[in-house]
Structure 1
Amino acid sequence: MNLRVRVVHYGQAHWYADIDDADDPQPDDPFWYVDRCRTQAQALDAACTELSALSKRARRGDHLHRVLEITGVAV
């Protein structure tokens, strides 16, 4: 599995970050996301922390659940 982090700035208001499979053509159902970060650094720090945890789980062979599987709502 090839995970990637994406960080996006939404106007002047906030930053968004998510983690998804790099081969997934649809960005609407990541494995993890955070929204309303005040700074790019805050969004990136949160994503890197979660990426480390997800990577460890993937190496163990755990199934990684997508947001839609857990919440029933696409991002």
Structure 2
Amino acid sequence: MNLRVRVMNCGSRHWYADIDDADDPQPDDPFWYVDNCRTQAQALESACAELRLMAGRLVRGDHLDRVLEVTGVPV
């Protein structure tokens, strides 16, 4: 699995980050996301911390669920 972190500025003092499969052509159903971060650094640090946790789960052989699979609500 080839995961990637994406960080986006969504306006003044509003940052979003998600983790998705780099081969996924549509970024509408990530494995994880965080919204309303106050800084770009905060969004990136949160995403990198989650990416480390996900990597550990993948090493153990766990299945990663997408946000839509868990919540039923698209991002």
What's the TM-score once normalised by structure 1's chain length? Answer: 0.97
Percent identity between the two aligned chains? 75
What's 1:18 paired with? 18
Instruction: Please give the alpha-carbon distance, in whole angstroms, between the structure 2 residues aligned to 1:74 and 1:10.
Output: 17
**Which structure 2 residue ranges, 5 or more long, are not aligned?**
none
State the SS of the aligned residue for 2:34: strand
Instruction: Please give the alpha-carbon distance, in whole angstroms, between the structure 2 residues aligned to 1:7 and 1:26.
Output: 15
Aligned-pair Cα RMSD in Å: 0.7
Instruction: Please give the alpha-carbon distance, in whole angstroms, between the structure 1 residues aligned to 2:8 and 2:61.
Output: 30
Instruction: Please give the alpha-carbon distance, in whole angstroms, between the structure 2 residues aligned to 1:71 and 1:44.
Output: 23
What's 1:64 paired with? 64
Instruction: Please give the alpha-carbon distance, in whole angstroms, between the structure 2 residues aligned to 1:64 and 1:27.
Output: 16
What's 1:2 paired with? 2
Aligned residue type for 1:71: T
**Which structure 1 residue ranges, 5 or more long, are not aligned?**
none
What's the TM-score once normalised by structure 2's chain length? Answer: 0.97
Cα displacement (A) at 1:11? 1.7
